[in-house]
């Protein structure tokens, strides 16, 4: 139902960890899917982080280059998805939380111009034709340059920041540049510093849409594949991610309705070969 792009800035604010927490917490109706696409031109992190290299490099973004040249992008895209359903420790038989792994070498980004364009079209098609949601992890610099088309075509663009002086200073120019280009930009704040949401909004001139706690131990489960604590879904990080996901669904629905009044309001590890 929506394509949401997450971007970052220097200082490792936690874009991929935030995206994974949202993926595993996203509210899904029966038959709906959530897809997280790692589109960071500096390289993906999930294959060798959360998944600890168990699947090697057989799947992911780099395998779409040939398909982009041969006109088989759509079918190839679905073959590259990995099922992350249940990675939060809850038994879930449905394959509805999917990952497109990113590139494994930043040098591969130079040859992905046609892939970024193909993904932009595919994501909007998935939203329109299947009603699935797509999260796009653009990393630190993916919202600019050739991969910036993914931010341009998203229904909503969010910048992940920490509420520290260093992170806010690094984010100012990026948020401003994105707002000039795509219009409405929101913020996801990782609460690691002293500045309240109102001050973050004032400095960055953008609304704080959601806040996630700074929880290194819990975050390491998603970023490094660390051992899950008991009741991981009840940790502060994952509880906040569920709240954040609901807020993002609501915000995106309002924005889509404003831009297109015909839009209906939203209600609030295996390989996948095709759409349902």
What confidence tier does 261 reach under pLDDT thresholds 50, 70, 90?
low
Residues of the chain with pLDDT > 90, as a percent, come to 64
Beta carbons of 68 and 84 less than 8 angstroms apart? no
Q: CA triplet 16, 80, 76: central angle to 5 degrees?
A: 135
Alpha helices in the chain (DSSP H): 15-25, 65-70, 73-79, 113-125, 149-152, 165-182, 197-204, 216-223, 236-259
State the pLDDT at residue 265: 46
Please report how many Cα atoms fall inside a 13 Å half-sphere around the Cα of residue 19, on the Cβ side.
38
Closest among 55, 50, 117 to 89, alpha carbons compared: 50
Tens-digit pLDDT profile for residues 14-38? 999 999 999 999 998 888 899 999 9
Tens-digit pLDDT profile for residues 118-159? 999 999 999 888 889 999 999 999 999 999 999 999 999 999
Distance (Å, rounded) from C-alpha 145 to C-alpha 200?
26
For the chain, domains (ranges, CATH) are 3-272 (3.40.50.300)
Separation of CA 267 from chain center: 20
pTM above 0.85, yes or no: yes
Tens-digit pLDDT profile for residues 161-174? 999 999 999 999 99
């Amino acid at each position: 139902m929506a394509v949401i792009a997450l971007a970052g800035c220097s200082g490792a604010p936690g874009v991929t960890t935030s995206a994974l927490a949202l993926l595993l917490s996203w509210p899904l109706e029966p038959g709906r899917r959530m897809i997280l696409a790692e589109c960071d031109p500096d390289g993906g992190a999930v294959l060798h982080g959360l998944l600890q290299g168990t699947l090697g490099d057989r799947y992911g973004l780099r395998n779409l280059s040939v398909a982009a040249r041969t006109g088989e992008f759509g079918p190839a895209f679905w073959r590259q998805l990995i099922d992350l359903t249940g990675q939060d420790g809850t038994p879930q038989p449905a394959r509805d939380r999917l990952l497109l792994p990113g590139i494994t070498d930043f040098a591969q980004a130079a040859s992905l111009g046609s892939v970024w364009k193909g993904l932009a079209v595919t994501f909007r098609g998935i939203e329109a034709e299947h009603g699935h949601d797509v999260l796009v992890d653009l990393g630190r610099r993916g919202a600019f340059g050739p991969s910036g088309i993914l931010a341009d075509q998203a229904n909503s663009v969010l910048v992940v920041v920490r509420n520290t002086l260093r992170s806010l200073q690094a984010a100012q120019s990026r948020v401003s540049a994105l707002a000039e280009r795509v219009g409405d930009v929101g913020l996801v704040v990782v609460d690691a510093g002293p500045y309240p949401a109102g001050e973050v909004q004032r400095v960055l001139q953008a609304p704080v849409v959601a806040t996630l706690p700074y929880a290194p131990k819990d975050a390491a489960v998603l970023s490094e594949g660390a051992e899950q604590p008991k009741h991981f879904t009840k940790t502060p990080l994952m509880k906040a991610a569920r709240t954040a996901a609901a807020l993002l669904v609501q915000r995106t629905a309002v924005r889509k309705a404003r831009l297109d009044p015909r839009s209906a309001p939203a209600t609030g590890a295996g390989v996948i070969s095709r759409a349902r």
